[in-house]
Structure 1
Amino acid sequence: MSAELHVTRERADAIAAPPASARLRRYARPALGLLLPLGLALFWELWVWLGYSNGRLVPPPTKIFATVMELAKSGELTRHITATVSRVAAGFGLGVVAGTVLGAISGYWGLARQLLDPTVQALRAIPSIAWVPLFILWLGIFETSKIALIAVGVFFPVYLGVMGAILAVDRKIVEVGRIFRLSGPAMIRRILLPAVLPAYVVALRVGLGLGWMFVVAAEFMGASEGLGYLLIDGQQLGKPAQIVAAIVIFAILGKTTDWLIEVATAPLLRWQDAFGRQSGAA
């Protein structure tokens, strides 16, 4: 009897445990995204090493890495990254709150949409640089104007994403909620929120990307620290390695924060039976 029980347990463990190839694919899949940038970096390093380019205007990866390590040893890199990340975090938070609230109001209430949306769409067409002199005049040249500019960049995609997602909710689902006599808060919690959440996550990711773009314009406004300051400093002093290093750090930080949003919201989207989820698990 014990032998049969032992065999049964072994079979159950074999069924429950994923095969080694599946585990290998799961761990190797994130590494696939590194193939292209690493391949391009290796190609350019060899191109410069073989003498086909002097690497002065576009430095090779080894020189960029040496520049990053030099900034890190001096403590400047930590100071600049901290300043930029804190600005993006503050601007992103303000932009998300304002975009979510106004987008939800415009999407749920037709009269508010008719009043607000034309003005918001007109403001959305204004280039980001056009806000810079106005924010400096209104808010000064210090942190407040920089955070406000980043918040403006984050606001518009979040607003459009929330409003568009609410307007795209299937009318039949809403009618089902009314048939079951759901109250207003229950309708939002059980019907609208799950339907809007996938598009909302996409809007957050787009808004975060624009936040990283707008922080460069914000740090051009007389900043004395930040990755945008490193760009300007590298341009004025003729340091292309410093410019490229700042751009690479921007890319790494942007991808890391985007991944954090994706991981944080993944448990909320497990109910989706989407094609992308199936193909990603294949």
Structure 2
Amino acid sequence: MQPLNSDTLVLDGAPAAAPAIVLPLVETRSGAQRLAPRKLPRGAYLLGPAVVLVLWQLASEVGWLPPQLLAPPSAALATGYELWVDGALGAHLMASAVRAYSGLVLGVVLGLVLALVSGLTRSGEAAVDGLVQVKRAVPTLALIPLAILWLGIGEAMKVTIITLAVLVPVYINTHASLRGIDLRYVELARTLGLGHGEFLKRVAFPGALPGFFTGLRLAVTTCWTSLVVLEQINTTEGVGFLMNRAREYGQTDVIVVGLIIYAGLGLVSDALVRAWERRTLAYRKALGQ
């Protein structure tokens, strides 16, 4: 099952039913039709954070937020520029990025493999799904004490914790998409006599993509939220270490710099995944896309 320019999906030369398309007209309870909401312009999701920053700056200028409690965004930006010029911020940012994205890649790969094993075979689901659900019920950060005992307090422990945090949303959403594939496509694949490889390529993988991208969007933010805590455990470099040291000296401007970096990296990562998703799933014509 491959996406084409038209609304028809072709499987080995045989036309299959096109996926459901949500029309731009929706029907109200009274039976009247109205236009569906138009697609928001790109970058519109930044409006909320921008409003918060403006209100934050105004509250600081009128004295509602003393700098001892929370530095204004303008002071944080000035401090961040100074740290960047000194070269300290770049080194800490690189160390954080290596930790976060190492755990992200490992977690995405592991979550995807487990989802395929569990979602495509009954024996795989019996062996894998229960373990992942148990992991889902246990907060990842609660595993830190055991991870320290087993792996020490170095980089291996931090990457492992991020990996465990990331794999859960990838697994849950990809597994749900696999289980939600239309049985008509499965029956068609059997009728055409597709082998396991062709079935995965033409039916399973395309059907799992929407859920995979949803899980990936959650994963790219999860890796950074996990890193916030992990970088405050016996680290000598990283954005979290910079914030922890600033806490000891009461440097709220440096702490705000760290928060802005985490938030910015999370937004950029999510935007990249959304762009990849729009490009990959461009054949879908769903409401608001």
Under a length normalisation based on structure 2, what TM-score does the superposition of the two structures give? 0.82
Q: In terms of Rg, which structure is larger? A: 1
State the shift of 1:232 in Å.
1.2
Matched, 1:212 2:224: yes
Aligned mates of 2:83, 2:220 — CA distance in 1: 26
Alpha carbons 2:68, 2:250 under 8 Å: kept: no
Residue 220 of structure 1 aligns to a residue whose secondary structure is coil
Alignment of 1:88-99 (within 5 A): 88-99=100-111
The CA distance in 1 between the partners of 2:46 and 2:280, in whole Å, is 27
How much does 1:190 deviate?
1.0
- 1:227 equivalent in structure 2: 239
Equivalent residue letter for 1:155: L
- Distance in 2 between residues matched to 1:52 and 1:131, nearest whole Å: 39
Comparing 245-254 with 36-45, greater Cα deviation is found at 36-45
The 5 Å alignment of 1:53-64 reads 53-64=65-76
Alpha-carbon deviation of 1:247? 0.6
> 272, 276, 283: which is aligned to 1:260?
272
Pair 1:105 & 2:117 matched: yes
Cα distance, 1:222–1:31 mapped onto 2, change above 3 Å: same
The CA RMSD over aligned residues, in Å, is: 1.9
- 1:157–1:76: structure 2 CA closer, same or farther, 3 Å change rule? same
1:163 to 172, 175, 179: 175
Q: Which of 163, 182, 194 in structure 2 is aligned with 1:151? A: 163
* Cα 1:32–1:266 shift into 2, 3 Å: closer
Query: For the Cα contact (< 8 Å) 1:132–1:221, is it kept in 2?
Result: no
Give the whole-Å Cα distance in 1 for the aligned partners of 2:185 and 2:65. Answer: 61
How many residues align structurally? Answer: 252
- With over 3 angstroms needed to count, the CA separation of the structure-2 counterparts of 1:195 and 1:31, relative to structure 1, is closer
Deviation at 1:31, TM superposition (A): 4.2
Equivalence for 1:198: 210
Q: Match for 2:83 among 57, 71, 78?
A: 71
SS of structure 1 residue aligned to 2:250: coil
Q: For 2:216 and 2:66, how far apart are their aligned partners in 1?
A: 42
SS in 2 for 1:30: coil
The aligned residue for residue 238 of structure 1 is 250
Q: 1:217, CA displacement in angstroms?
A: 2.2
TM-score, normalised to structure 1, is 0.84
Q: Does 1:178 align with 2:190?
A: yes
- Three-state SS of the structure 2 residue aligned to 1:34 is helix
Contact 1:227 1:246 in 2 (8 A): yes
What letter is aligned with 2:153?
A: I
Matched AA of 1:210: T
CA distance in 1 between counterparts of 2:61 and 2:42 reads 30
The answer for unaligned runs of 5 or more in structure 2 is 1-37
1:31 and 1:161, CA in 2 relative to 1: closer, same or farther beyond 3 A?
closer
Farther off after superposition, 262-271 or 101-110: 262-271
Asked if 1:274 corresponds to 2:286, the answer is: yes
2:54 matched to which residue of 1?
42
Residues 170-198 of structure 1: per-residue CA shift (max 9 Å, x gap): 11111111122222111111111111111
Q: Which residue of 2 aligns with 1:189?
A: 201
Give the drift of 1:79.
0.8
Tell me if 1:132 matches 2:149.
no
